[in-house]
């Protein structure tokens, strides 16, 4: 009997090729251990609320009223909700014909897209067109939609930073394209070298790959570095010279933990550069309600903005968006609230400011605790987390540990991370899931566990790592970098 269409040997080969380490072997093993009663600290994914971060009060109040508009008719509603939350709920309900249970425009609610455009103009100092902004179910859906528009087959290449967030490698594999890696330099704080970019493009073209786009993740995931204006100018100049569309993954733009390199958008730098580059380089920028001090991952709200994209292509992107009918409407309201939060003088402003600043200041402290903790460990070295919400320490695995991993049929950093999970309950992601240079090993962990739990978590890691190194080192020593 021939195999059935959904038997493993019959399914799409691209589905088999796609890998997503953030929810891969380590996560599945952690879930098994949790079912067996072991306490697991899930640091494998940037999921702030799951690790105890409290939601901001004002947006939840507004969305609660939008979800249950009959509350607005209650005579005592003003005793439960502040007047500005009530006013904002009425404002969004006026946009939503049929309420939150009805489809919106396939590009998103026009009034909320206008709020996003106004936010971008305030941020960058240049006008933004709401017609070129699409609201999406998280930034990931936007990334997938744009890559789907770019990739026509395995001959089409996308330049992706390595280490990279595996959304990119998985989506490129699903679409049958080719990932073209460019390596970030760990010893230069995960810096980006244009010569590395040129070499990557040259090698890809030699193999017959048509490199069409370049991805930047700023601030970096998993590496946590922030690109400065000079870096971005070099990248945009490179895209202009090589005729590449730039995909700017900027979902961590609120997550900055140092003062030397504040976030600056690729769009602002592009428009600052002036013609011809400002009119020629194609740019798609992505943002989300999932990160920053909002952390509303489960709401699935995001947007992308297109710059210098041909109107005919925008029409095709709209056509594909319309196949899904509508992005989810409550998430669109969260996006409107993120880009248009309470202002000074509003009833809810002081509480909003106190909550948001408290989260960011704690994340800054946690970034330092984690970096210092890793750097105090034997055979571990870690760059400071300048932005985003991850640490990406290098683990100098002894040869005997690498051999033990091979005997167990595991990639060395997977072997280490599994041992860490079994011993401590700390669920991380091995660096091999993000890409790394040959013979170099890392793990990624979020900086999201509660601040009061951080010292105990880092002590637990240090104890495990010391015992692991004691077991596998030959004590003859070798350099850390």
Residue 177 has pLDDT above 50, yes or no: yes
- Could you tell me the CA-to-CA distances from 82 to 61, 99, 296, 355, 428 in Å, in that order? 9, 21, 22, 16, 41
Strands (E), 299-341: 302-307
Closest alpha carbon to 427 in 412, 413, 409, 444: 444
- In the numeric block, the tokens 């502040």 are attached to 82
Q: Are 383 and 190 in contact (CB under 8 A)?
A: yes
| Angle of CA points 276, 277, 281, to nearest 5° | 125
For the beta sheet containing 283-288, the strands, ordered from the edge strand earlier in sequence to the opposite edge, are 133-136, 302-307, 283-288, 245-249, 210-217, 156-162, 178-183
Q: Quote the mean pLDDT of the chain.
A: 92
DSSP state of 134: E
Confidence of residue 475 (pLDDT cuts 50, 70, 90): low
406-447 confidence digits (pLDDT tens)? 999 999 999 999 999 999 999 999 998 888 888 999 999 999
Confidence of residue 476 (pLDDT cuts 50, 70, 90): low
Residue 479 has pLDDT above 50, yes or no: no
Closest alpha carbon to 141 in 356, 335, 293, 430: 335
Output the pLDDT for position 91.
Answer: 96
Concatenated DSSP letters for 150-205?
Answer: H--STTEEEEEEES--HHHHHHHHHTT-EEEEEE-BGGGTSB--HHHHHHHHHHHH
Output the pLDDT for position 2.
Answer: 85
- Of 127-141, 198-212, 301-315, 433-447, least confident by mean pLDDT is 433-447
- Could you tell me the CA-to-CA distances from 267 to 308, 382, 406, 416 in Å, in that order? 11, 30, 46, 40
> How many Å apart are CA 257 and CA 246, to the nearest integer?
25
Half-sphere exposure of 425 (CA within 13 A, CB side): 14
Q: 3-class DSSP state for residue 399?
A: helix
285-331 confidence digits (pLDDT tens)? 999 999 888 989 999 999 999 999 999 999 999 999 999 999 999 99
Average pLDDT over residues 349-356: 97
Output the pLDDT for position 5.
Answer: 87
Output the pLDDT for position 23.
Answer: 66
Output the pLDDT for position 481.
Answer: 36
Q: 3-class DSSP state for residue 471?
A: helix
Closest alpha carbon to 299 in 80, 55, 72: 55
Residue 4 has pLDDT above 90, yes or no: no
| N-terminal to C-terminal alpha carbon distance within the chain | 56
pTM of structure? 0.93
21/189: higher pLDDT: 189
- Of 237-241, 376-380, 472-476, least confident by mean pLDDT is 472-476
68-95 confidence digits (pLDDT tens)? 999 999 999 999 999 999 999 999 999 9
Average pLDDT over residues 223-233: 93
> How many Å apart are CA 431 and CA 441, to the nearest integer?
6
Closest alpha carbon to 292 in 348, 343, 339, 344: 339
Query: What's the Rg (C-alpha) of the chain?
Result: 23
232-244 confidence digits (pLDDT tens)? 999 999 999 999 9
């Amino acid at each position: 009997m021939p195999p059935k269409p959904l038997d493993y040997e019959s399914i799409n080969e691209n589905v088999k090729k796609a890998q997503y380490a953030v929810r891969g072997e380590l996560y599945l093993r952690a879930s098994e251990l949790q079912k067996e009663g072991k306490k697991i600290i899930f640091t494998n994914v940037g999921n702030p609320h799951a690790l105890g971060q409290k939601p901001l009060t004002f947006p939840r109040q507004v969305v609660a009223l939008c979800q249950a508009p009959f509350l607005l008719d209650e005579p005592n509603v003003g005793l439960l909700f502040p007047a500005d939350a009530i006013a904002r709920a009425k404002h969004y309900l006026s946009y939503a014909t049929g309420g939150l249970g009805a489809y919106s425009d396939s590009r998103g609610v026009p009034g909320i897209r206008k709020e996003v455009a106004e936010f971008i103009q305030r941020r960058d100092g240049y006008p933004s067109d709401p017609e070129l902004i699409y609201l999406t179910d998280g930034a990931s859906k936007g990334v997938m939609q744009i890559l789907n528009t770019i990739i026509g087959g395995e001959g089409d290449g996308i330049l992706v930073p390595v280490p990279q967030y595996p959304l990119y490698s998985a989506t490129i594999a699903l679409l049958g394209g080719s990932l073209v890696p460019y390596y970030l330099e760990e010893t230069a704080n995960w810096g980006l070298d244009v010569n590395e970019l040129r070499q990557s493009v040259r090698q890809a073209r030699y193999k017959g790959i048509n490199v069409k786009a370049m991805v930047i993740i700023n601030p970096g995931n998993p590496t946590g570095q922030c690109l400065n204006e000079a870096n971005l100018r070099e990248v945009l100049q490179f895209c202009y010279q090589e005729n590449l569309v730039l995909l700017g993954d900027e979902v961590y733009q609120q997550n900055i933990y140092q003062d030397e390199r504040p976030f600056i958008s690729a769009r602002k730098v592009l428009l600052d550069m002036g013609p011809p580059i400002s009119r020629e380089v194609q740019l798609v920028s992505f943002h989300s309600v999932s990160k920053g001090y909002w952390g509303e991952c489960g709401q699935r709200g995001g947007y992308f903005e297109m710059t210098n994209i041909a109107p005919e292509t925008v029409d095709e992107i709209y056509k594909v968006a319309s196949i899904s009918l509508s992005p989810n409407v409550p998430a669109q309201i969260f996006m409107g609230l993120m880009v248009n939060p309470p202002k000074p003088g509003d009833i809810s402003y002081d509480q909003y400011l106190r909550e948001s600043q408290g989260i960011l200041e704690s994340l800054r402290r946690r970034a330092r605790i984690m970096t210092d903790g890793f750097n105090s460990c034997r055979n571990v070295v870690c760059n400071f987390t300048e932005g985003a919400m991850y640490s990406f320490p290098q683990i100098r695995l002894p040869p005997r540990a690498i051999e033990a991993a091979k005997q167990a049929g595991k990639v060395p950093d997977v072997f280490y991370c599994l041992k860490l999970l079994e011993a401590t309950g700390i669920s991380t992601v091995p660096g091999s899931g993000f890409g790394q240079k040959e013979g170099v090993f890392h793990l990624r962990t979020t900086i999201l566990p509660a601040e009061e739990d951080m010292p105990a978590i880092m002590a637990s890691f240090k104890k495990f790592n010391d015992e692991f190194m004691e077991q596998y080192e030959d004590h003859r020593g070798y350099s850390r970098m």
